[in-house]
């Protein structure tokens, strides 16, 4: 039946329907808004108190974060100042940061391990960038230092040589001690001596202490093994302890070593 009604009448009817309902829709919307408004006003006292507490907590947290941010900024400034002071101190003491090295591998051409001489000769010299005083290591630990340099060969003083001394550390302890060579014992066993050892260090045969290189020596990086200490006794003056260092047996059969050249 609706399809048979003229189009002009349909338009008039729709318009009249919309005009008739518009005030009702408007009134319904306003009633809903008013209801929400009064609903908020009629919140219980407890609800309002909770909202105030939440607001206070948020504000307190914001203030805390501001204080923390201020403390962090001040700490950053302090640390930067400390870093600058350390750099200045290193420069004044000529310490520098941890030394880095370039390795030069050299083959052993001769060994001299008598009671008087503890040295080896390698097939590298000045032509390969070597000079006296450089540290020498192997895959087993510290070997010694370059004593003299020729054009294409160099003489290495082994750590067993009584004239060899260096600063060392016990593994896990930062306090410096002194290592000195003690030659080759009966049976071809290379030995050394640990001196100036603090009294609270107590190695035993069951729990020996490992002696390692120290970066205070300037020619070796920190932590390269020197040997094992199984016992310590009173030193000559009684202020420190001392004891034998059992060195690696491979010192007697070295065929190849690595010479450490400080990186500029």
136 confidence band (pLDDT: 50, 70, 90): very high
Q: Which range among 21-30, 93-102, 227-236 shows the weakest confidence by mean pLDDT?
A: 21-30
Q: Is pLDDT above 70 for 36?
A: no
Cα 54 to Cα 66: distance, rounded to the nearest angstrom:
18
pLDDT at residue 12 in the model: 45
Q: Which range among 16-30, 31-45, 131-145 shows the weakest confidence by mean pLDDT?
A: 16-30
Proportion of the chain above pLDDT 70, given as a percent: 72
pLDDT, greater one: 237 or 224: 224
Cα 119 to Cα 154: distance, rounded to the nearest angstrom:
10
Cα 72 to Cα 66: distance, rounded to the nearest angstrom:
10
Average model confidence (pLDDT) across the chain: 80
**What residues does 169 pair with on adjacent strands?**
176, 212
Structure tokens at 81: 């100042």
pLDDT at residue 17 in the model: 47
Proportion of the chain above pLDDT 90, given as a percent: 40
Q: Is pLDDT above 80 for 39?
A: no
Q: Is pLDDT above 80 for 117?
A: no
Q: Is pLDDT above 50 for 163?
A: yes
CATH architecture for residues 101-262: Beta Barrel (2.40)
Three-state SS letters, 161-230 = CCCCEEEEEECCCCCEEEEEEEEEECCCEEEEEEEEECCCCCCCCCCCEEEEECHHHCCCCCCCEEEEEC
pLDDT at residue 10 in the model: 47
Please write the tens of the pLDDT for every residue from 167-221.
Answer: 999 998 989 999 999 988 877 788 999 999 998 999 999 999 999 999 888 899 9
Q: What is residue 130's three-state secondary structure?
A: coil
> Of 200, 197, 199, which is closest to residue 243 (Cα–Cα)?
197
> Of 179, 226, 229, which is closest to residue 204 (Cα–Cα)?
229
Question: What does pTM read for this prediction?
Answer: 0.61
Please write the tens of the pLDDT for every residue from 63-112.
Answer: 888 888 888 888 888 778 777 776 666 565 554 456 688 999 999 998 88
pLDDT at residue 4 in the model: 52
pLDDT at residue 105 in the model: 93
Q: Quote the longest CA-to-CA distance of the chain.
A: 131
Cα 187 to Cα 99: distance, rounded to the nearest angstrom:
37
Q: Which range among 77-81, 118-122, 240-244 shows the weakest confidence by mean pLDDT?
A: 77-81
Question: What is the mean pLDDT of the segment spanning 53-61?
Answer: 76
Beta strands in the chain (DSSP E): 101-113, 118-122, 135-138, 141-149, 154-158, 165-170, 176-185, 189-197, 209-213, 225-229, 233-234, 241-247, 256-262
pLDDT at residue 168 in the model: 95
């Amino acid at each position: 039946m609706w399809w048979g009604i003229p189009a002009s009448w349909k338009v008039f009817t729709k318009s009249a329907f919309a005009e008739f309902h518009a005030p009702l829709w408007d009134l319904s919307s306003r009633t809903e808004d008013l209801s929400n408004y009064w609903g908020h006003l009629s919140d219980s006292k407890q609800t309002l108190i909770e909202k105030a507490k939440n607001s206070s907590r948020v504000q307190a947290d914001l203030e805390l974060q501001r204080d923390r941010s201020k403390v962090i900024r001040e700490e950053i400034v302090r640390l930067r100042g400390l870093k600058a002071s350390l750099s200045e101190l290193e420069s004044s003491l000529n310490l520098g940061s941890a030394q880095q090295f370039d390795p030069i591998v050299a083959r052993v051409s001769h060994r001299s391990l008598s009671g008087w001489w503890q040295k080896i000769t390698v097939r590298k010299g000045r032509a390969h960038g070597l000079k006296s005083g450089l540290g020498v290591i192997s895959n087993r630990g510290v070997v010694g230092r370059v004593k003299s340099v020729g054009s294409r060969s160099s003489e290495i003083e082994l750590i067993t040589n009584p004239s060899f001394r260096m600063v060392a550390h016990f593994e896990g302890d930062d306090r410096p001690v002194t290592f000195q060579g003690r030659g080759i014992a009966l049976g071809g066993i290379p030995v050394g001596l640990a001196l100036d050892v603090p009294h609270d260090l107590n190695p035993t045969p069951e729990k020996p202490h490992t002696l390692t290189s120290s970066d205070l020596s300037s020619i070796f990086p920190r932590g390269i093994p020197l040997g094992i200490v199984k016992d310590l006794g009173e030193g000559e003056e009684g202020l420190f302890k001392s004891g034998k260092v059992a060195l690696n047996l491979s010192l007697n059969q070295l065929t190849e070593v690595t010479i450490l050249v400080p990186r500029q």
